[in-house]
Amino acid sequence: MYYFLCASLPDLMFGKQSRLSVAAFDELCRGQVGEADFTRLTGTGLEVGSDPAESLGKPRVYAEMIRFEQYLRTRIAQRRAGREEDRAASLPDPVEYFSEVDIALAQAAAAADPAERERVIDRLRWRRLDDLEAGHEFDFDRLCVYRLRLAILDKYRDRRAEPGRENFNAAVERISQAAPATE
C-alpha cells in the first residue's frame, strides 16, 4: 500500500493541464516504491501493439487497459475501412466487448475537427480508467491509473492552436500544388 504517495498526488482532471508530467511522476515514485514495483509501474504506457498476448504478465490495470486499447484501435481501423457492409463482415469475435467504444466512436466521427475527435476518444480512455480505479485508492493499481492519466494529459501539454493551424495550412498547400490540374 502506498498511502502517503497516493494521498500526496495532485488531483487530475481531463482537459486541465497537470503540473506533474509522466517523467516527474516516475521520479517521484522512484524513491517511494520498491525497485520491482517501479519497474512494473514504468513498464507500460499508452503505446500498445496489436499482439493479444501483450497484456500477459502486466499489472492488472495495464493488462486491462491494453485489451481495451487494442479493441478501441481495432474499431477505429474498421470504421476507417470503408463501407458498413465490409466493416460488419470483418468484425472479429472479441474476447471482450466494450460497448462504450462504439458510442464514443460515433460521437468522435460527428466531431467538427480532428482535435475534437481525439479529445472524445481520450475522454473514453479517461472513463475506462475511472472504472479501473474504483476501489483502489492507495494501492499499486491507483499508481498505474494515475500514470496512464498523466500520459493522456501529457499529449496535450505543448499543443497550441497556431502552430497546428500553420502545419495544416502548409499541408493543404503542398497537396494543392501536387494535385494535377483539372479542365
Q: What pTM was computed for the model?
A: 0.81
With CA atoms as reference, report the closest residue to 1 among 136, 126, 138.
138
CB distance 153 to 18 below 8 Å: yes
CB distance 142 to 11 below 8 Å: no
How does pLDDT run along the chain (183 residues), one tens digit per residue?
Answer: 899 999 999 999 999 999 999 999 999 999 899 999 999 999 888 888 888 888 899 999 999 999 999 999 988 988 888 755 555 555 555 567 888 999 999 999 999 888 999 999 999 999 999 999 999 999 999 999 999 999 999 999 887 666 667 777 788 888 888 766 565
CA–CA distance, 97 with 109 (Å, rounded to integer): 20
- How is 103-163 classified by DSSP, letter by letter? HHHHHHHTSSSHHHHHHHHHHHHHHHHHHHHTT-SSSHHHHHHHHHHHHHHHHTTT--HHH
Q: Which residue has the cell 480532428?
A: 114
- How is 25-68 classified by DSSP, letter by letter? HHHHHHTTS-HHHHHHHTT--S---S-GGGGTTS-HHHHHHHHH
